[in-house]
Amino acid sequence: MFRVISLLFVSVCIVFALPAEQEKESLYNSLDTTDEQTKHTLKQMVKSSYNIQAHKTNYFLPLSYNYSGEYQDTNGHSAKTTEVEFQFSLKYNIGADLFGLKEIYSVAYTQKSFWQLYASSAYFRETNYNPEFFITFPMALDIDRFGLKAIKLSFAHQSNGRGSDEERSWNYLSSSFIFQYGYLFTELKLWTSWKSALKYNPDLLDYLGYGSIKFIVPYKKHLLSFKTNTKGTIESNYSYPISSRKDLFLYVKVFSGYGESLIDYDNYINKVGIGFSISR
């Protein structure tokens, strides 16, 4: 019963975590303001207008089912095939156009957790942490070639925050090229690491590969994506609005391959999950 209540509580918190924009606007407009500086401060306070945005998809999957593949035991726990998976991801734009190229400088943080809510002790099987710094270069119309819309250069760290034999981490550089052809968006991403950063998992790239290609199709209210890497791992996601709100969506995720989590990067996992997201 406690686990059911916990699940409902987390679901409600996520659904109502972000007030609708019109509600924040209404609250702000109801306030008495005097000088312009005070007005600006109130706007920041009420509307939380601090340039923090969603980065990767923010989702919560109450049912995430591993139908083929083995999880590594954690501190003597044997993981169940059904768990809760969730991710939150935020970015902050720290500057722009320093070299006159319309480039945007950003920092981001992504955290993905795998919660064994349906196990007797309801422990967290794994959590991966991913801070990142990146620069995005939008392509001007006069140099737009082959549908290329943007180039992104990134430096990032990923870790599971553990120590000793269960530590998994790496530092990597990546470059992404984003193209558009009508309804179809394509992201080609390449990455590399340095061996000193693979101390605890020296064969990590043998399973994650060195690049991926992702196809994204936004059509009317539907959003479908499909990604595969150089090692054949596949991930597909689908989202669709489930209410009149602008920040709540049905979310379905399918995964097949290596690297589902850092602790199990070398285990081949087949998994499907369903829940909702608050960003796309």
As a whole number of angstroms, the distance between CA 50 and CA 96 comes to 15
Average pLDDT over residues 55-74: 94
The chain-wide mean pLDDT, for the chain, equals: 86
Residue 212 catalytic?
A: no
Of 11, 77, 157, 175, catalytic: 157
Side-chain half-sphere of 222: how many Cα atoms within 13 Å? 9
Q: In Å, how far are 58, 83, 129, 177, 189 from 110, measured between CA atoms?
A: 9, 20, 6, 21, 18
Residue pLDDT, tens place only, 147-189: 899 999 999 999 999 877 889 999 999 999 999 998 899 999 9
Is the model's pLDDT at 17 over the cut of 60?
Answer: no
Of residues 93 and 46, more confidently modeled: 93
pLDDT at 174: 98
- pLDDT, tens digit, 9 for 90 and up, residues 76-116: 788 999 999 999 999 999 999 999 888 999 999 999 999 99
DSSP per-residue string spanning 51-69: SEEE-S--EEEEEEEEEE-
The residue-averaged pLDDT of 217-237 equals 96
Structure tokens at 280: 């796309």
Domains of the chain: 1-50 (no CATH), 51-277 (2.40.230.10)
169 catalytic residue (yes or no): no
CA distance 143 to 158: 34
> At residue 202, what is the residue type?
P
Question: Catalytic one among 113, 159, 193, 236?
Answer: 159
